[in-house]
Amino acid sequence: MINKTVANADEAVKDIFDNATLMLGGFGLCGIPENCIAALIRKGVRGLTCISNNAGVDDFGIGLMLKTKQVKKMISSYVGENAEFERQLLSGELEVELIPQGTLATRCMMAGYGIPAFYTPAGVGTEVANQKETRNFKGKEYLMEHAFDADFAIVKAWKGDAAGNLVFRGTARNFNPLMAMAGKITIAEVEELVEVGELDPNEIHTPGIYVNRIFKGENYEKRIEQRTIRKG
C-alpha cells in the first residue's frame, strides 16, 4: 500500500505554480481546506484560477487569497458574502464566471468520470448560455457544458488514512468528494489521520485512488458564515 502522507500543508502545496487552476472544496465556510489556503498565501503563488462553490468571506477562506491579489479568476455559483470580491469584480481586477450550482457540481463530476462534456437545461435563455453550443432534445433546449480541467483539487475531510481514503462529515460532504475525483493532483487535509485498515470500508466516501497527498491539519477555526441565534 502506497503511503501518501506528507508532513504538512506547505509540503502538500509546494509544487502549485503561478497561473494554476485549483478546485477548492467546501460549502460556504464549512469543510474548506483552511491549512492549504494559509500555505498558498505563505507560498505567494499568483494568477490562480479558483473553482469553488463560493469565494469565502473578506477575512477567511478564499477571501484571504483575494485580499493578497493571488486570484486571477473565480469560477463559482455564489459570491454574496465577500465585499473584497465585489470590489475587485466591479473594478475589473478579477475575472468571474458565475454558473448554476448544479452545473458546477456536474462539471466537477464529469471531470472525475472522464466525460468531456454534457448537456443541461440550466441557464438556457440567460447570460449563462452566451457563446455556448445548444441542442434540442425532444423539443427542449439544452446547453453544452464542459468538464473542468483543474491542475489541483484541494479538499478537506474529517478523517483519512495513509492510503488517501477519506470520510467527510455533514455539509463538508457537499463539493469535497466531487472535487477530490476531478483534479489532476488531489491534496487532502484531514482532522484525523489514521492507519490503513482503521476506516470501515463501508463508510469511505472517497477512495484513496483519487488522492495523491494527505496530511493532518491543525488549528481549524471552522467559522460560521452567518450566525443566527434565537433571543432568549
- Residue 227's Cβ-count burial label (10 Å; 0-12, 13-18, 19+) is exposed
In a domain, 137, yes or no: no
Alpha-carbon distances of 191 from 25, 99, 167, 232, rounded to whole Å: 15, 31, 10, 34
Domain count, the chain: 1
Q: What is the pLDDT at residue 183?
A: 95
Grid cell of 127 as nine digits: 447570460
In a domain, 113, yes or no: yes
In a domain, 231, yes or no: no
Q: What are the tens digits of pLDDT across the range 6-52?
A: 999 999 999 999 999 999 999 988 999 999 999 999 999 999 999 99
- How many other C-beta atoms are found inside a 10 Å radius of the C-beta of residue 203? 9
In a domain, 124, yes or no: no
In a domain, 1, yes or no: no
Q: What's the CATH code of the domain at 170? A: 3.40.1080.10
Identify the CA nearest to 11 among candidates 52, 40, 49: 40
- First vs last C-alpha separation in the chain: 54
Q: What is the pLDDT at residue 79?
A: 80
Q: 159: which strand partners?
A: 167, 192
In a domain, 126, yes or no: no
Residue type, 99: I
Grid cell of 200 as nine digits: 470501515
**pLDDT tens per residue across all 232 residues of the chain:** 789 999 999 999 999 999 999 999 999 889 999 999 999 999 999 999 999 999 888 889 999 999 999 999 999 998 877 888 889 999 999 999 999 999 999 999 999 999 999 999 999 999 999 999 999 999 999 999 999 999 999 999 999 999 999 999 998 999 999 999 999 999 999 999 999 999 999 999 999 999 999 999 999 987 777 777 888 7
Which residue range(s) make up the domain with 74? 9-118+147-216
Identify the CA nearest to 6 among candidates 190, 206, 144, 197: 190
- The dihedrals phi and psi of 83, each to the nearest 5 degrees, come to -70, -35
Q: What is the pLDDT at residue 110?
A: 97
In a domain, 37, yes or no: yes
In a domain, 184, yes or no: yes
Query: What would the DSSP string read from start to end of 96-119?
Result: EEE--HHHHHHHHHHHHHT--EEE
**Do residues 171 and 53 touch, judged by C-beta distance below 8 A?**
no
